[in-house]
Chain A
Amino acid sequence: MVKSIKCILKHLCKQQDCSELCTSYLALHGRSGKGGRIYTANIPQDYRFVTLNNSPSKEEQKEAYDLIEKYVKTFTRQFEDEKYVKSLYLFSETPGTGKTTTATALANEYLIIHYIGSLKRGKQPLQRPVFFFDVNEWQNHYNGFNRSSIPEEIAEKEAANYYVWEEYAKTTPFVVFDDIGVRQATEGFRSDLHSVINYRVTNRLPAVYTSNVHIDDLNEVYDDRLADRIKDECVLIEFKGDSKRGLN
C-alpha cells in the first residue's frame, strides 16, 4: 500500500522517491504533512500546495500572471547582496478574484527558491523565510486585549500572539499582508502597522499586499504617512472580474 505523498517540491524533484522520511519533505511539510516550514510560514491549510503553475487563478488573471511570473524570477535576488526584491500590491475592487490564492502562491514560490537555493549554496535554509500575515486576524488579536472587561488570561494570550506576529511581520524576509485596509483602525493599531511596514521598507524587505482598497485610496483608511510607506518601491497589479467565490 503506497500512501501518496503530497509535496510542494514534487515538480522540481529528480528522484521522485517520495516518502515520509524524505529530508526535503520533512523540512517543508513535517512528518505529518501539516508541519515543517509551510506551517511555520503560517500558510493557510487550504493553500499549502498552491504554486504559480497550479494556481486556479492563473487562467482568469492572465495579464496579472504574466507580470507575476516575471516577478518570481527576481526571487533569486534574495541570495545577492546588491539587488533586492520589490514589493507587490494585488488589488481588485471585488473580493474573491484570487488575490489571496496568488499571494500564497508567491509565498510558496519564495519559500521553494529559498529552500533549494540555500541548500545549493551550502547554507541551512531559514526556519521561517516567509510569513503569511493575515491583517484582519492581527487586528482581532489587537482588539482582544484592548477592549474593556476582557478576562486577564485571554488578554494575555491575545497580546502574546499579537506581539509575536508583529515580530515575524517585521523580520521575516518575505511577508504576505493579506487583506490590508478593509477595516477602520484605531490610532494605536495604525501606529503598530506603520512601524511594521516602515521597518520593512527601511530594510528593503519585500512584501505582497492584497487589498480591495486601491493603493491610491489607502490614505482614506489609514493615513498619508502609512499609505506613502506602502507605495514605496511597490508595484501595483490589478485583478479583474467578478468574484469567483461560491461558484465551485
Chain B
Amino acid sequence: MYGESLLSKIIDTNDPLALKRFSIERYHFPTEVERQAYDFISDYAEKNRGNAPDYRTLVAEIENFNYLPDVEDSLEFLSEKLKDHAGKRMLHEFLTSKEVSEKFSNMTAEEFTEWLTENTEQIKRQMHLNHKVGLDLKQDTDKFLLEYERRKIGQSFKIWQSKFPSVNNSIGGYFSGNIYTWYGRSGRGKSVFVMEEALEAACQGANVLVWALEMSSFEWFCRAYSSLSAREGKTNATIDGVDYEAGFENLQMLRGKLSLEFEEGLKQFLKELPEKVSGNITVRAVDDETFYRRDLKQLEQDILTKNADLVVLDPAYYIDMEANTSKTAGGDVANTSKKLRHIAGRTQTVIHVITQADEDKKEKRQDGTRELKAPERGEIKKSKQFLEDAVNVFGVDTLDGLGVIEIGKGRAGGEGDVIEVIYLPSYGIVRELTGEEEAKRFDTNF
C-alpha cells in the first residue's frame, strides 16, 4: 500500500530522484509488481534525464500496478513507512527461519546472542533508516551549539590530565575519543608509565578499564598500591639510613614480605582507598579465569559494561586481531587499529595502547653500558599501525633510576619534547623531574 502510494506520488511530482534521496532499494517493496514498477521508473529516469514516466505509460508497462492519484502524504513519510514495513518483514522472515532455530540449538547462549545481533544489525542497516547523510555546515547549527554548550559544562567531552606536567603543557592532556600509543623496548617501563596515567585519571574520577595481558592481577595491584601510596608519601622507607617518603615497596609486597609495621600500614591504606580515589579501576589480567575472549568486541562490551572513560591495552599485540581483509602484510593489525579508533570515538573513551620497539644491538657501547634514549618510531615493526592511528605517541626508556618520555605527533608525524622522569617504580616513585622544588635544595647565585 505504501509502496504504491510512494511510486504514484513520484510519478505525480516527477521526482524519481527521491528514490535515491531517501535510499529506497528494490527489496523494500513487498510485492513483485511494485518491484517491477520501481525498476521501470529508475530505468526510465536514467534514460530520460531524470524524468519520471507518465502514469499511463507505467500502468501500460507494468501489469496489475495500481496507480493511486493525488496522494497527500509526503514522500518522506511514505518512505519511512515503506522501510519500516520492509524491516518488519525481513525480521519476521529471519526470526522464523529454520536457521535461527538450528543455531539456537547448536550454539552457546553467548555465541547465539552475538550471531543474532550481527544478523539483526544487518537488517537494520538494510532498512536505511538514517537517510540523512552527514551534517550540514549551514543548516545544522543548532546541533553544533548544543554540543558546544555540553562541552562548556564538561559533559560531552572529557580531558584527563597526565601525571606529568609537561605532557599537559605539550598536548593539553588526554582527550576522550582518542588513541594514545606508548612504545619502548622490552622491560623499559611502558606498563609502569601507562599505569601511572591510568591511576592519575582514576584519581580525577575516571572509570578505568585495564586489560593487562602480560601481568597477573596481583602484580598489577601491587604496583598500583605502591604508586598510589607514594603519591601521598605513605611510608618512610629507610634507604641507606635515610628516611625517604615513598610508597609501599613493590617487591616486598609481591613476595609477601612486608615488615609487620608496613603490613599494618598497608591494611589501613587499603581501608581508606575508596575515599582517596574517586574513580574506579577494573583490571582484567592474564590470570582472570573469565577472561578468555580478548578481541575488540569483548573490549567494547567491557567498556560499555563498566562505563569506562579510559582504557589501557597492555600490550596491544596480545589482543586477538581482526581478520586481515586487505590480504597485505600487517592487514590484521591495521584492521584492529582502525576498529579500535572507531571504538574510542563511539564510546568517547581515551584508549592508551602499548606496543613494543625492537631490540637494538647497536644501543650498547663496547663496555656494555648504554644511554637513556627513547627509541625511534621506525624501530616499531610489527604493530606500527597503532602509532599511525594515535593522536599522540610516546616513546619511553628508563635506566638507572631515570626515565624519558618523548612526545611525538601521531597522525601528523614529527617528533617533539623529551620529558625526564625520576623512575623508581619499586617504591612507587615515577614523577617528572621538575625544577622549582628541587632548585630550593641549592643556595647558589646561578
Find out whether the CB atom of A124 lies under 8 angstroms from the CB atom of B436.
no
Query: Interface size bucket, A side?
Result: 35 or more
From B365, B399, B418, B444, give the contact of A30 (CB < 8 A): B399
CA distance A169 to B375 in the complex (A): 21
| A155 sits at the interface (CB 8 A) | no
> With the chains together, A205 CA to B401 CA distance in Å?
30
Whether the Cβ atoms of B442 and A12 lie closer than 8 Å is: yes
- The count of residues in chain B whose C-beta lies closer than 8 Å to any C-beta of chain A is 37
Q: List 11 A-B contacts (CB under 8 A).
A: A14-B441, A21-B237, A24-B441, A26-B402, A26-B424, A31-B401, A39-B371, A119-B435, A120-B446, A127-B418, A160-B362
Q: Which residues of B contact A (CB under 8 A)?
A: 166, 237, 239-242, 244, 246, 362, 365, 369, 371-372, 399-402, 404, 418-420, 422, 424, 427, 429, 433-436, 438-444, 446
A residues within 8 A CB of B404? 127
Given contacts A116-B442, A120-B439, A127-B372, contact A26 B419 (CB under 8 A): no
Contact B442 A13 (CB under 8 A): yes
| Closest chain A CB from B92 CB (angstroms) | 67
Q: In the bound complex, do residue B435 and residue A113 qualify as a contact, i.e. CB atoms below 8 Å apart?
A: no
Q: Does the CB pair A21–B427 fall under 8 Å?
A: yes
**A124 and B446 contact, CB distance less than 8 A:** no
Most interface-central of B166, B246, B434, B435 (chain A CB within 10 A)? B435
Is the CB–CB distance between B418 and A13 below 8 Å? no
Chain B at the A interface: SS class: mixed
How far does the alpha carbon of A17 sit from the alpha carbon of B418 in the complex, in Å? 29
Whether the pair B240, A31 counts as a contact (CB closer than 8 A) is: no
Interface residues of A in 1-22 (CB under 8 A from B): 1-3, 5, 9, 12-15, 17-21
Q: Which residues of A contact B (CB under 8 A)?
A: 1-3, 5, 9, 12-15, 17-21, 23-24, 26-27, 30-32, 34-36, 39-40, 75-76, 79, 113, 116-125, 127, 157, 160-161
Tell me the bound Cα distance from A13 to B438 in angstroms. 10
What CA separation (Å) do A36 and B422 show in the bound complex? 11
Q: Which residues of A contact B372 (CB under 8 A)?
A: 35, 40, 127
Contact in complex: B439, A119 (CB < 8 Å): yes
Contact status A21-B239, CB under 8 Å = yes
Asked whether A27 lies within 8 Å of B439 as measured between CB atoms, the reply is no
B231 to chain A, nearest CB (A): 15
Whether B435 lies near A118 (C-beta < 8 A) is: yes
Q: In the assembly, what is the distance between CA of A2 and CA of B240, in Å?
A: 5
Q: Are A124 and B241 in contact (CB under 8 A)?
A: no
Q: Point out which of A1, A9, A20 has the most chain B C-beta atoms below 10 A from its C-beta.
A: A20
Q: Distance in Å from the Cβ of A49 to the closest Cβ of chain B?
A: 17
Nearest-neighbor residue (CB-CB) of B436 within chain A: A122
Closest to B419 in A: A124
In the complex, the chain B residue whose C-beta lies closest to that of A76 is B446
Most buried by B among A21, A79, A161: A21
A14 adjacent to B442 (CB under 8 Å)? yes
Q: How far is the CB of A97 from chain B (nearest CB, A)?
A: 28
Which of chain B's residues have a CB closer than 8 A to the CB of A34?
369, 400
B433 & A124 in contact (Cβ 8 Å cutoff)? yes
- B371:A40 contact, CB within 8 angstroms: yes
A31-B402, A35-B399 known, 12 other contacts, Cβ within 8 Å: A3-B241, A12-B442, A13-B441, A14-B440, A26-B400, A26-B402, A26-B424, A36-B402, A40-B371, A118-B435, A119-B438, A120-B444
Specify which chain A residues have a CB less than 8 angstroms from the CB of B446 in the assembled complex.
75-76, 79, 113, 116-117, 120
Whole-angstrom distance between the Cβ of A124 and the nearest chain B Cβ:
6
The chain B residue with its CB closest to the CB of A123 is B435
A9 CB contacts on chain B under 8 angstroms: 442
Known contacts A3-B240, A21-B427; A26/B436 CB under 8 A: no
List B contacts of A32 (CB < 8 A).
400-401
Enumerate the 10 nearest inter-chain pairs by beta-carbon distance, A residue then B residue, closest first.
A31-B401, A30-B400, A35-B400, A2-B241, A119-B435, A119-B439, A19-B242, A26-B401, A3-B240, A120-B439
With a 10 A CB-CB cut-off, give which of B242, B424, B436 has the most chain A CB atoms.
Answer: B242
Q: Which residues of A contact B244 (CB under 8 A)?
A: 19, 21
Q: Pick from B240, B362, B399, B438: contact of A23, CB below 8 A.
A: B438
Q: Which residue of B lies closest to A2 (CB)?
A: B241
Q: Is the CB of A19 within 8 A of B418?
A: no
Given contacts A13-B441, A21-B239, A116-B446, contact A30 B371 (CB under 8 A): no
**Is there an interface contact between A5 and B240, defined as CB atoms closer than 8 Å?**
yes
Across the interface, which residues of A come within 8 angstroms of B402, CB to CB?
26-27, 30-31, 35-36
Which of chain B's residues have a CB closer than 8 A to the CB of A17? Answer: 242
Q: Which residues of the partner chain B approach A161 to less than 8 Å between Cβ atoms?
A: 365
Measured between beta carbons, the chain B residues less than 8 angstroms from A19 are 239-240, 242, 244
Contact A21 B441 (CB under 8 A): no
Which chain A residue has the least Cβ–Cβ distance from B443? A14
Task: Give B423's nearest chain A residue, CB to CB.
Answer: A26
- Chain B residues with Cβ under 8 A from A123's Cβ? 435
CA distance A39 to B369 in the complex (A): 9
* Given known A-B contacts A21-B427, A122-B435, A127 and B420 have beta carbons under 8 A apart: yes
CB pair A124 B420 closer than 8 Å: yes
- Please state if B429 and A116 are interface contacts (CB–CB under 8 Å): no
Please, which residue of chain B has its CB at the minimum distance from the CB of A30?
A: B400
**B371 / chain A contacts, CB cutoff of 8 Å:** 39-40
What is the bound-complex CA distance between A122 and B166, given in angstroms? 12
Chain B residues, Cβ within 8 Å of A79: 446
A127 to B240, CA, bound (A): 27
B444 cross-chain contacts in A, Cβ below 8 A = 12, 116, 120
Closest to B404 in A: A127
B166–A124 touching, CB < 8 Å = yes
**Structural contact, B429 and A21, CB atoms closer than 8 A:** yes
- B293 to A: closest C-beta gap in Å: 41
